[in-house]
A and B are shown apart, each in its own frame.
Chain A
């Protein structure tokens, strides 16, 4: 690895530290932020997330090799970590570190986009089901019950099995569209209680139509639980993607995702554990960080604690 790469890595750590520091400083200035900081793991969580996000965005600077580049298929198969390849190489003599860095893009990207899809769908359906009385809400929620009853992994496996060479975009969409049921229940419950609040009645009395009431008065007040469930949901999606990729059904090779890296290294676990170990650690770290931040947000955004 060149000096430049080391410098870039140091830079990434510095950026993550700065972000964590700044987040801490800002949080300490408000009551909600201090509730966030009361979780001892919240700030380290922010640091870990910031670090991996920096890796993903600055991947070309941080990766000494192209993630798909086979350095020397004859001599560098499953090579242990060394000065050249700090995390070693895999069975195709690709640099594990470079794949990890580019894999952050794929894994975090899938997690974020799929979660955005899920949250949008969940919030939309939940808001309608909660706000509209009569049969619409009941029908929607029975649909959600059906969705929740379906084993998600099974549905995804079926889609992958039936559709050969599933494009990545479709996979992400599928993950998102199978993941909004719980969110919609949460949002509906929130909307049901918000709907009865007097400020909603006041908005209606002022002449606001249903769209304005939902988007200006109801959803912003339901934002806290949505954000929290999204933060926790990203971790879930990443694990799901890793699971699919590990079964060889997720992100197609040679694209590096953390799950597919584990899959690639799995047959050589005994002789070359680094090929699976490092992406595994990355997944574990990010998921734990997301959970820590999610828990902190849950307390910070709890509106019941806001009146004091």
Chain B
């Protein structure tokens, strides 16, 4: 009996996973084993337990995944309840990740969801490395950029600059803004990473400060005046906290006063929140549509039951309905997901000699280089102050400056190229040190 029930539960999924087909991915091996493996071995991290996160957890749990984890630093607010359907009024003030995990586990038997109530930066890199796929339901460029850098950081390349498949950490990124949304698949090393296409994002709208101070014309101008100028004037030294309702109320009242002074209508508390926190009204159905697309892509990546979206889907429900898939291309020099230029070095080479070698390296021809390794500025050619502070490193072997790590990523800045094409540039280098008697041949990838 138990068998019958479980098979009826995965009946729809079985149609995808048990039968061969023509449009499947190259690695697809249909069968009951695949279904069981998906349940047992695939671990998925959902980043964000907000509007998209709630939908994603539900969709992934119902798609047969059993090992999910969710990370979110926020607590539930009343204004979330219209679309973050896993939360109830009595949950207000509770951590989103914990409540979301609990609610989905109550409804979908057999699924295990581990919640993490913290910032994404609080987790060690190892935490992220344990997942098969990372699914993003975030609302900021900064957070996406961070997770992207972490996931791409696991990627290793072989000696021919080909990405090593087993180091690839796939990401599925969803995003919504009102009636608009996107879903994209990032296979680091194969499809463009978040940083390759960061230019896609339009710049944030920022009003000139003098307009705010002198010639406000809109309600938003009045709110930004209270937020950016008046706040500092009155609360010297105390910084504004957008999550503190008292602060928000103060800004609202100041904005309202100013609006009255200039005869501008439309300043409300919710508009104040909207302008200050950059909030765009969220639409539950947009989240549902984008999340469904993301969950399906996750299933496709995990099982190979169909080719994945290639690689960026946009959805616009504002005027009629428009959806389109665009295939973006990688930036081959991407500092985050690109292979970088491979250099094999002696452990004895000093930083000075290393910098000299950059000048002769055929792919670089870089002069006047500055060198940085994971946030440590080893040498800065300018400004003079930093040059002086870093000069003493020049005589030290690079191997030592890199904590005797056999491989590593080094970033260099300088003037590179030939003849007329010489220009300042920033390059990623994949450095491997020749082992002194120790066999270390399979470490040439670097991370």
| A and B interact | no
> Contact residues of A with B, CB < 8 Å?
none
